[in-house]
């Protein structure tokens, strides 16, 4: 039987993110119930998106692919690891050894 976290534990874990108060993304790797959430790529947390490069007017721009800071990275549940971008995933393994 799988036990669900209570709302207080869920919110406390989400609050570990430095962007918690200003973020409105539906999919967050700190979410203890991430597997029950739905959404498209526009709903992904900045730490779940792979970097995307675009050339605009001869200049290269990179969006997404931010690496999650170490402090909140320690609280990403292992079951959510596959949802992190590759850079954050690699850092998760280093931090959680």
Query: What is the Cα 81 distance to its own chain's centre?
Result: 9
In a domain, 52, yes or no: yes
Is residue 65 left, alpha or beta, with left meaning phi > 0 and alpha meaning psi from -120 to 50? left
Q: How many independent structural domains does the chain possess?
A: 1
In a domain, 1, yes or no: no
Instruction: Let me know: does 65 contact 52? Beta carbons within 8 Å.
Output: yes
Tens place of pLDDT per residue across the chain (97 aa): 556 778 999 999 999 999 999 999 999 999 999 999 999 989 999 999 999 999 999 999 988 889 999 999 999 999 999 999 999 999 999 998 8
Would you state the structure tokens that stand for residue 28, as one six-digit string?
A: 């967050």
In a domain, 15, yes or no: yes
Domain containing 37 equals 7-95
d(CA 60, CA 37): 33
In a domain, 2, yes or no: no
């Amino acid at each position: 039987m799988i036990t669900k976290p209570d709302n207080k534990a869920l919110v406390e874990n989400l609050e570990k993110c430095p962007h918690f108060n200003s973020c409105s993304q539906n999919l967050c790797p700190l979410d203890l119930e991430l597997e029950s959430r739905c959404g498209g790529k526009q709903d992904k947390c900045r730490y779940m998106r792979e970097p995307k490069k675009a050339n605009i007017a001869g200049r290269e721009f990179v969006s997404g692919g931010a690496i999650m800071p170490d402090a909140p990275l320690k609280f990403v549940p292992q079951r959510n690891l596959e949802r992190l971008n590759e850079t954050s995933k690699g850092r998760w393994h280093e931090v959680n050894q």
